[in-house]
Amino acid sequence: MSDLRTMTYAEAVREAMATAMTNDDRVFLMGEDVGVYGGAFGVTNDLYERFGTDRVRDTTISELGIVGMGVGAALTGMRPIVEIQFSDFLCQAMDQVVNQAAKLHFMVGGQADVPLVIRTPGGSGTGAAAQHSQSLEAWFAHIPGLKVVMPSNATDAGSLLLAALEDPNPVLVLEHKLLYKQSFEVPAEFPRAHLGEGRIEREGTDLTIVATSIEVQRSVQAAEQLAQSGISAEVIDPRTIKPLDLPLILDSVSRTGRVLLVQESAKFGGFMAEVSASIAESPAFGDLQAPIKRLCGLDTPIPYSPKLERASVPQVEDIVAAASALVGEW
């Protein structure tokens, strides 16, 4: 009998929250429409009926207030999960995220922890236009004191959320909204995960592709197409971008000699610029047979038009073309 089951990304997130809430009375969930409505993307679904109003709390429309309450609850020993309806709305809560949650442990000399988990959907692909479709991970990865998680599949969505809930630090979990309805094979129990531990998603020898979130899936699909033309691509999923499993990336780059860095967000100031710089500053740089290549979203707000929206971020065919050129030209 197989120990695998099929579940969607959203179901995995919900199961992880339910498991944590069952095992630890300190864990509770709050956010806009997470209760009766079941969440904007249906992720929280029946948690309201299962755990009641004390553990699943609908809030007012104030991201600054929601995150502020989460920080306060965390400081008093609770384990709050704050859901922000769209990651774009974190702009309204930046003071609490950046100046409070990320810094309080340091500013009180380690006398208090802030075990706050913020979950929020990001990314494009749903026709939600420029104010609801951004990929803002680089902002938060830049802030000392914050950890940033980007699960690319249902197993990681569950495992990494549970790991985040065990961490004494504030953790931001960025869930791609296109992944919510996708189905995956998942173990009977979520395997234990460690923040800062990446994974080789597909082994290869000719080049390394480092990708995040939904671009991991697209990179694996691209690698399968590349294999048909004789190019062996290794795909790495960092899983958490802060902390980053840099040794895993550098080891792969040293072995393959070429690297393509793929992100949905715009290139300028993006997270993959940090990965690129880290490679350039490491001994792995001497093993490169070609320049480091970044494939990123266009430097434009996400369009509402489906065709323009799709064209503004890397797709499978873009990854295939970039990887083929990287191998063919060098």
Q: Catalytic amino acids?
A: 63, 132
Residues in contact with 276: Cβ distance below 8 Å, sequence separation at least 6, in sequence order:
261, 292, 294
Q: Which two tokens stand for residue 226?
A: 């590349």
Contact 205, 115 (CB under 8 A): no
Spatial CA neighbour of 261 closest among 269, 271, 250, 272: 272
Which H/E stretch holds residue 263? strand 259-266
Q: Which two tokens stand for residue 192?
A: 């234990």
